[in-house]
Structure 1
Amino acid sequence: MGEHAHHHAVRRSYDTVAEEYVKRLHDELAGKPLDRALLAALLEQTEPGAVVADLGCGPGHIAAHLVAGGARTVGIDLSEGMVESGRQRFPGVEFRIGDLLRIPADAGEFGAAVALYSLIHLSPDELPRAVAEVARVVRPTGMFLIAFHIGEALRHLDEWWGHQVDIDFHFHAPEQVAALLESSGFTVEMCMERRNYPHEADTRRAYLLARRV
């Protein structure tokens, strides 16, 4: 499947499940203390007044959490359905429709960025281009927080919450992602792993916090 077809399938799948996604996951951060702590650490190290990008923002709940923490936030997502839901629920967040391989932002526009479980829809071959795009839009000294599932697996869904979809979930190796960040203009300052919480899918998860050089 070519890049265009692959990304179209991801977009269409998230458009399909957008309403159900909001119902099930709109308050997921309430049950993720580590995520909240890392987001707070990112904000503490971000220049006051700088814009923080939520890359692959879904319906915008993480971007809204950042706004509640005092940040100016731009949420960017491939899915029009997700973005429309976010615009309706979170007027304090600016939303843009865009692909992580072609981020709709100017060079150095953001003081920091987060990508929580959005890189999982990119194949290993696509990761270098995506990370290069993040390096382009995050200004020097800006922080970048990533979370993803650990491993080399590729999981495909044809059905999700009772809806027909066509979507791949790529697992990644933390050491490979860290090396890619280092070669793309970031210094990795933290890498940690955790097991899933009881309400999550049974996978190990990695978090990397990096600083733009």
Structure 2
Amino acid sequence: MAQSEVTVQTAYDLVADDYARLLPDTRAETTLDLAVLDVFVERVRDVGELLDAGCGAGRIARHLTDRGCRVRGVDLSPRLVAAGRRTHPDLDLSVASLAELPFEDDRFAGVMAWYSTIHTPDDELPGVLVELVRVLRPGGHLLVAFQSGEGVVDLAGSYGRHGHAVVLERYRRTADAMAHLLDRAGCQEVVRMVRAPEGREAEDQAVLLLRRC
């Protein structure tokens, strides 16, 4: 496991219970976010199994399952996965690294990385994206969400306000930069959404829907 993954796993194991409690469902998503998720569901629901890569405690996996999708979820944090299993015992959630997914090539009709690449350093991101595409079947769809922009955000202060002393950074990317990396990984962009921040958000939010070539 890369040192960056050790740092992320340690941080999310520490905050897992509060994270699962404060983000139990899709209440943090806007109507635009949910509309993009609905488009994704329409394209993969009747075609095959879907991978929620970086599923956390299973809140988006729950949303997709309730809309008729067959979902497998993986996350780097054992404590987040444990929280998800307690809350959603019917969901298939397990511990795995996005950089080394335990699935064969071309396995899934859809792969979703909903804010799950945001802690991956720039030098490791291309490899993670290639791995996400590897397990996606040709013609399958990939959905990636992330904070839009450039630069690194130190999250220690944000978690500190909730009583957690963690070391954690978030990497912002533009939609153009992410689309370029995914094009090199073998995906063609279908549609993108970049929206202004709402509520407590401080940054623009981006979502890319792509199809594996």
**Could you say which TM-score interval applies, normalised by the shorter chain?**
over 0.9
Alignment of 1:34-113 (within 5 A): 34-46=32-44, 48=46, 50-113=48-111
Displacement of 1:99 in angstroms is 1.1
Please say if residues 178 and 188 of structure 1, whose CA atoms lie closer than 8 Å, have aligned partners that are also in contact.
Answer: yes
Alpha carbons 1:49, 1:71 under 8 Å: kept = no
Moved more, 164-173 or 153-162: 153-162
Deviation at 1:30, TM superposition (A): 6.2
Q: Is contact 1:29-1:35 (8 Å) kept? A: no
Equivalent pairs, count: 210
Where does structure 1 lack aligned partners over 5 or more consecutive residues?
A: none
Query: Quick check: 2:110–2:141 contact (8 Å CA) kept in 1?
Result: yes
Is residue 206 of structure 2 the alignment partner of residue 210 of structure 1? no
Instruction: Letter of the 1:12 partner, please give it.
Output: T
Query: 1:72·1:93 contact (CA, 8 Å) conserved in 2?
Result: no
- Distance in 2 (CA, whole Å) between partners of 1:136 and 1:60 is 23
**Map of 2:5 onto structure 1:** 7
5+ residue gaps, structure 2: none
CA contact (8 A) 2:25 2:63 kept: no
Q: Equivalent pairs: percent with the same residue? A: 34
CA RMSD across the alignment: 1.5
Aligned to 2:24: 26
2:139 to 138, 141, 156: 141
Q: Which has more strand, going by share of residues?
A: 1
Query: What per-residue deviation string (whole Å, max 9, x for no partner) do you get for residues 34-89 of structure 1?
Result: 22211111111116251111111111000011100101101110000100011111
Using structure 1 for the length normalisation, give the TM-score.
0.93
Aligned-pair CA distance for 1:144: 0.6
Structure 2 counterpart of 1:50, one-letter code: G
